[in-house]
Amino acid sequence: MQESQPVAKLAPTHVRLRYGVNETDSWWHFAQSEARERIRERLREMRTEIIRVFLYDKNAPDPLTEWPMLRSYLNAVLAVGAVPMVTFAKFDRPADDPRAVRWFAERCGDVVWQCLEEWGEERVCDWYWCVWNEPNSTWIGGGLEFEKYRDIYENVAAAMLRWLGPALQGRRLRIGGPAVEGFQPFWMDWVWRFLSEIDPRLLGFVNWHLYADWREHGENGAPPDPATHQAIMLWQAREYERRALWVSRFLREPGILNMCGEWNAHSHYLPRVRARFNQTHFGAAYGGLALLNLIRGGVDAEMLWTGTDDGCGYGVLDADAIPTPLFYARRLFAQYIRRGDRIITPKIRAGTADLDGMIVAGNDARRSAVLVHCQPHEATYDVAELTCGEFEGQCMLIKVDGGSGNGVIVQRSDRRIGISGYGVAVISNVVAGRDVAVGRDWA
């Protein structure tokens, strides 16, 4: 059969992933605070390529009345060296009122026009535009029906095309949605209908969100024992790969990107609760597993929720740019697993769920094994056994774990490596990026 393709895990042979973050509730710190330069430097260290920003929600500046603030928000993205994904989060008028839809579409079109005026066609054509945020969630996006969302989407896309169309010169408009909330039982309906019912020429990307849990230990049927709850969350990180592959089956054209636009371990409604999951070494391990599985699933971009965070319980940087363990884990990924790298071994496993990992090779002769340790206790592993002899000779070990303090350790890799509790470790034949300086300090 000429047209048919075998159905299996569509394991990609190369890394497609662009790294990104959301900068939302704490956008002011990222855009205007005294720490902004340090924050941007940290985001560059994570090789951040896309930064998702919000309009019409999250206390974001209003484009009509606060354009200078919005300008600083978007300039902050550009200063990082990233491309913005501007999310038109919602409107507060009745969604089934055609005048309200037209009004919203006009507002979105105006923002595009203003951006073209401010930053020019060449730049703005590369930006991403996301229509609405979690329309399938009553809590977040108002609980729209898909038919209404489709109407809004098509109107906004038409309004944007009016301004961006002439500048695109045949390129695909980078507009997308539905930024679907992944806890809802029929979330996949939205992705399927989004990709099936909207003209593919109006689709630049499909955006889906996934957190492991929103419940505290013992809340709403969650396991009361913290160790059990955490173990289940880590086990479920494979869901990123499954969802990525499921979405990719329905992409009708190759230029439509598959994006995980929001993710983290936990989205409890109280910051202090979710911080215990997201901003600890457990969060680093969960994040590492999420990234491994997004890469295995062939996802084109991920955007962590969030980058900068002033007491919200999500971010990898606080208002003073002080990093969490997940920041270092992400930096290890970004430095040692880069877009375009060849995937040599997609899955390294030790024990049933103790350790997960991947081996990749770059065009620059860099060869790295990235390992995620999923247990709270200390463990030692035989490098040759883990990597099937891929790392014989002199290699370096770079890791963030319970023993590395608030940072990474860079040291020569022995035949056996130890990891203290939850963490991420890299065995590589080169030391990359910021770790060069860290290694010098440790030496």
Partner 1 sequence: MTTGHSIRGMRETATPPMVRSRLLYGVNEATGWHDFAAEPHRAEISNCLRAIGTQMVRIYVFDRHTPDPVRDWAGFARYVEAVLAAGATPMITLSRFRPPLDDVAVLRWFVQRCGELVWSCIEQWGGEVVRRWYWCIWDEPNSPWLNPGLDFDLYRRIYVEAASEMRRWLEPYSGDRRVLIGGPALDTFQPFWHDWLWRFVHEIDDSLIGFVLWHRFGEWRAPGEWSAPRQQDVFLDLLMSRSSGYTDTAAIVGDLVRDRGILNICGKLNANAHVERRASDCNQTMFGAAYYVLALVNLIRGGADAELYWMGTDAGGPHGLWDREGCATPTFRAKQLIAQTIRPGDEILIEEGGARPSDLVLVRVRRQGGERATLIVQAARQRRAYRLTELTSGTVIRQLDEATPPREIATPDIAENISFDGFGIAVVTGDVSVLP
CA distance 44 to 128: 19
Binding pattern to partner 1, positions 69-98, x when CB under 8 A?
Answer: --------------x---------------
Nearer CB in complex with partner 1: 188/379: 188
Nearer CB in complex with partner 1: 14/162: 14
- Binder among 255, 311, 351, 405 for partner 1 (CB under 8 A): 255
Q: Which stretch binds partner 1 (CB under 8 A): 36-44, 54-62, 185-193, 313-321?
A: 185-193
- Would you say 72 and 79 are in contact if contact means Cβ atoms under 8 Å apart? no
Nearer CB in complex with partner 1: 256/409: 256
- Binder among 223, 226, 376, 403 for partner 1 (CB under 8 A): 223
Instruction: Write the CA distances from 186 to 136, 181, 206, 220, 393, integer angstroms.
Output: 9, 10, 16, 20, 50
Q: Which stretch binds partner 1 (CB under 8 A): 40-48, 107-115, 152-160, 250-258?
A: 250-258
At closest approach, how far in Å is the CB of 132 from partner 1? 15
Strands 409-412 and 396-400: antiparallel
Binding pattern to partner 1, positions 122-161, x when CB under 8 A?
Answer: ----x---------x------x-xxx--------------
Instruction: Write the CA distances from 411 to 263, 325, 384, 397, 417, integer angstroms.
Output: 31, 18, 17, 5, 10
Nearer CB in complex with partner 1: 31/50: 50
- Binder among 38, 44, 339, 347 for partner 1 (CB under 8 A): 339
Strands 423-428 and 367-373: antiparallel
CA distance 380 to 415: 10
Nearer CB in complex with partner 1: 59/196: 196
CA distance 425 to 397: 7
- Would you say 408 and 398 are in contact if contact means Cβ atoms under 8 Å apart? yes
CA distance 88 to 55: 5
Binding pattern to partner 1, positions 3-32, x when CB under 8 A?
Answer: xxxxxxxxxxxx-x----------------
Sheet with 355-361: strands ordered across = 342-350, 355-361, 367-373, 423-428, 396-400, 409-412
- Would you say 142 and 96 are in contact if contact means Cβ atoms under 8 Å apart? no
Q: Binding of partner 1 at residue 219 (CB under 8 A)?
A: no
Residue 442, C-beta contacts closer than 8 angstroms, at least 6 positions apart: 409, 410, 411
Nearer CB in complex with partner 1: 69/79: 79
At closest approach, how far in Å is the CB of 4 from partner 1? 3
Instruction: For CA atoms 244, 249, 254, 257, give the dihedral sign.
Output: negative
SS3 category, 309: coil
- Binder among 228, 311, 405, 436 for partner 1 (CB under 8 A): 228
At closest approach, how far in Å is the CB of 224 from partner 1? 8
CA atoms within 13 A on the CB side of 255: 11
Binding pattern to partner 1, positions 256-285, x when CB under 8 A?
Answer: xx----------------------------
Binding site for partner 1 (CB under 8 A): 1-14, 16, 49, 83, 126, 136, 143, 145-147, 171, 183, 185-186, 188-189, 192-193, 196-197, 213, 215, 221-224, 228, 231-232, 235-236, 238, 242, 246, 248-250, 254-257, 298, 300, 339-340, 352
